Amino acid sequence: MYNYSTRGTRLAIKNTVVTKQLFFLKTALCDYRVGAVLPSTRRALRRVLTELPRECRYVVEYGPGDGVSTRAILERLPPDGRVVAIERNPDFLPRLWTIDDGRLRLMLGDVRAISTQLDQLGLPRIDAVISSIPFSFLSNSERENIVERTAAALAPAGRFIVYQYSPLMLRYLRRAFTAVRVRFALRNVPPYFIMVAEKSPSIQTDSRRTFQKINPRTDHELLLSF
Ligand SMILES: C[S@@+](CC[C@H](N)C(=O)[O-])C[C@H]1O[C@@H](n2cnc3c(N)ncnc32)[C@H](O)[C@@H]1O
């Protein structure tokens, strides 16, 4: 027998997803600095967030957009965790305000400026900074400054996790961090690179220029070494 209520629920969920995607697309068309036409997929975000450090409590997010990534981060933090999310486009604020979670603090502003005051965000320490901002629109010195300030503000075992469509930031991360690992998430539209940078040498890096496939059937991702 056909279950109409399940079908109705599925249609409603699909409708919500499409509405969110259309809103994101509309915002992106009005502001090229959004840097994407669609929000990240949940699968790709799951992949990004497996890179959070183990004892992760305090997170700064650069570029939360409509909040899909912010919600995913909050889901992974303990009840006493906190997230400070910095977004420069005010059109995203109404969407971000719908996140009903006392652990979240939203800041409307530009990472280029706010990264000078990361020690004043009210966090006891910063375990991870997660960035999806399109660095390609920034100058060399702006990229360098953001990476250096982020490295300085992170706790000793903290991680800077950058996901975007190109490995552009790799050389900047390598200059400021001891260890950098790169992954490629295919389950996003379009796919993106996930760069994980640490000050402490706990990440194993491989200097060979090889592409090593890992479990491509299930993960659809490649571990890349540049
Ligand atoms: C590619 S979208 C990603 C949105 C969301 N994190 C996701 O994964 O779907 C990048 C976001 O960063 C924001 N952004 C771009 N440059 C920024 C900057 N300099 N400071 C703060 N936010 C910025 C954009 O407005 C946009 O919301």
Q: Could you tell me the strand order of the sheet in which 159-164 lies?
A: 104-108, 82-87, 58-62, 128-131, 159-164, 192-198, 179-185, 221-224, 211-214
Ligand 1 atom index nearest CA of 36: 1
**pLDDT, average across residues 142-152:** 98
Whole-Å CA distances, 82 to 26, 35, 63, 129, 203:
30, 26, 16, 12, 25
Q: What are the pLDDT digits (tens) for 8-28?
A: 555 555 568 888 888 888 898
Token pair for residue 141? 């010195």
Q: What are the pLDDT digits (tens) for 23-79?
A: 888 898 888 888 888 899 999 999 999 999 999 999 999 999 999 999 999 999 999
Token pair for residue 207? 């200097």
- Name which residue leads in pLDDT, 225 or 39: 39
Q: Is the peptide bond before 79 cis (omega within 30 degrees of 0)?
A: no
**pLDDT, average across residues 112-128:** 97
> Ligand 1: distance of its center to the CA of 109 in Å?
11
Q: What is the pLDDT of residue 217?
A: 40
Q: In sequence order, which residues have a C-beta less than 8 Å from that of residue 134 and are 6 or more positions away?
A: 33, 34, 35, 36, 164
Domains of the chain: 4-224 (3.40.50.150)
Q: Whose CA is closest to atom 4 on ligand 1?
A: 65
DSSP 8-state secondary structure symbol assigned to residue 108 = E
Give buried/exposed letters for 194-213 (b at 16+ CB in 10 A, else e): bbbbbbeeeeeeeeeeeeee
Q: What is the pLDDT of residue 129?
A: 98
- Angle in degrees, CA 53, 96, 148, rounded to 5: 45
Q: Whose CA is closest to atom 23 on ligand 1?
A: 63
Q: Up-side HSE of residue 73: CA atoms within 13 Å toward CB?
A: 33
- Report whether residue 64 contacts ligand 1, using a CB cutoff of 6 Å: yes
3-state secondary structure of 53: coil
Q: What are the pLDDT digits (tens) for 172-220?
A: 999 999 999 999 888 787 888 999 999 886 644 433 333 333 343 433 3
